[in-house]
Amino acid sequence: MLKNQNFKYLWFGRLSSNAGDSIYYIVLSWYILQTTNSSFWVGILNFAIFIPNIFSFLFGHFIDSHDNKKTLIFCELGQLIAISILACTVYFEAANPLLTCIIVFFAALFGMNTYTIQDTMMPKIVPKKDLTRAQSYMSFAYNGTEYFFNAITGFLINIMSTFSLLLVNCITFIISIGSFSRIKTEKEAVASQKDSSFKKNIFKGFSLILKERAILCIAVGGSIANFLFGGLNVYIVLIADAQDSPVILGLMTASMAVGALIGSTLGATFILKVLPHGKALVLCTLLFGVGIIICATVVSSVLVTVVFGIANIFLGVTHVLQKPYFQVLLPKEDLGKVFSALFSVSIGTLPIGALFFGAIAGNLNAFWFLILFGVIYIAIALLYMFNKKVFHFELSEE
């Protein structure tokens, strides 16, 4: 895949940018908890990071009607400026929880659109038959590096200051801007939509999702899952705090890193050799839910970390398998609108989950949260299985 120069620069830019996203997320989660001693503020931070996704649909038409490369670079630049300002507030000791969350909100506002733009660009620079393989690479950049750098940062917090880590964060965004700037795009490809009405297109992404039952099914499943992942983001930090060490946070996220990396690369390649695309998605969704339930019943912290990593292998596979449904079943010229709408209805539930579970964490312990997480994920697998178009989906050799 990396012989495709445009895809190579897109992938490497995402790799670097996602490293930056991960660094500031884990650093600020720990920073907020240590300065406030409040799980609720951790929930507020997660809310600030993910709430912009609810408004993602507002930008879909703009993405489809403008040069994707320029828009992508603009979004990365916005993140760079926001994190630079945040680093300055930390250095001059002007930071407080509310100001930190406000700045993070604006960084996330730019960052949310980078995913939509990249998913929109994929079928324009990659042949249809290679979409799953390309998505495997992008899933590595999206999820593998996120967990990996979360893990590394968990250890680095012990030896580096918050300010130093935020500076490293800024460097990663500069690198991603350089990589994205080398992508060659066809300017005329977006010209036809520039004169289209904003009002006419603002809700088109939602209508396309509602019309295609398979897409709607995956969107609903993703919305429910991400509500739970919002809670997981809070509980992992609380588990580490209970042990009074960011190293535990590093170990937990490291197990997620290894699992996601194996799943999005070797796991996806292997399972697609033995199962059709749709059946593989259902099986891996089911096994991830079972794995999370097993995690809840294990007492040893070391064994929990291992089981958690194994469960995330199946999660990594599902990340690879979901995007091709959208890229194949929907028109390329409307993918920006669709992915923006998808982010609004699925990723948008992350902040709600973070806020909800951050508020009730004192009354719901980690054991029952993980049981709830696993059972609901199994229900999502059944939802996919009973949708024939999802279950029997396969990519053609075009």
- Nearest 5°: the CA angle 108, 114, 120 is 145
Going from N- to C-terminal start, the domains of the chain cover 5-180+205-391
Q: What is the DSSP string of 102-132?
A: HHHHHHHHHHHHHHHHHHHHHHHHS-GGGHH
> Which residue has tokens 């000791």?
93
Mean pLDDT of 133-158: 74
Query: Per CATH, which fold does 5-180+205-391 belong to?
Result: Growth Hormone; Chain: A; (1.20.1250)
Higher-confidence position of 133 and 85:
85
**pLDDT band at residue 188 under the 50/70/90 scheme:** very low
pLDDT reading at 195 higher than 60: no
Neighbours of 158 (CB within 10 A): 10
Q: Dihedral sign for Cα 26, 27, 33, 34, please.
A: positive
Q: Check residue 197 and give its pLDDT.
A: 62
pTM of the model: 0.70
Higher-confidence position of 396 and 159:
159
Q: Check residue 227 and give its pLDDT.
A: 92
Helices (H) and strands (E) counted in the chain, each on its own, are: 19, 0
Q: Check residue 124 and give its pLDDT.
A: 83
pLDDT in tens, 291-316: 999 988 887 777 878 898 999 999 98
Query: What are the E-state strand segments in the chain?
Result: none
Q: Check residue 398 and give its pLDDT.
A: 47
Q: Check residue 396 and give its pLDDT.
A: 63
pLDDT in tens, 4-61: 888 899 999 988 988 888 787 888 888 888 888 887 888 888 788 878 877 877 877 7
Q: What is the average pLDDT score of the chain? A: 83
**pLDDT band at residue 196 under the 50/70/90 scheme:** low
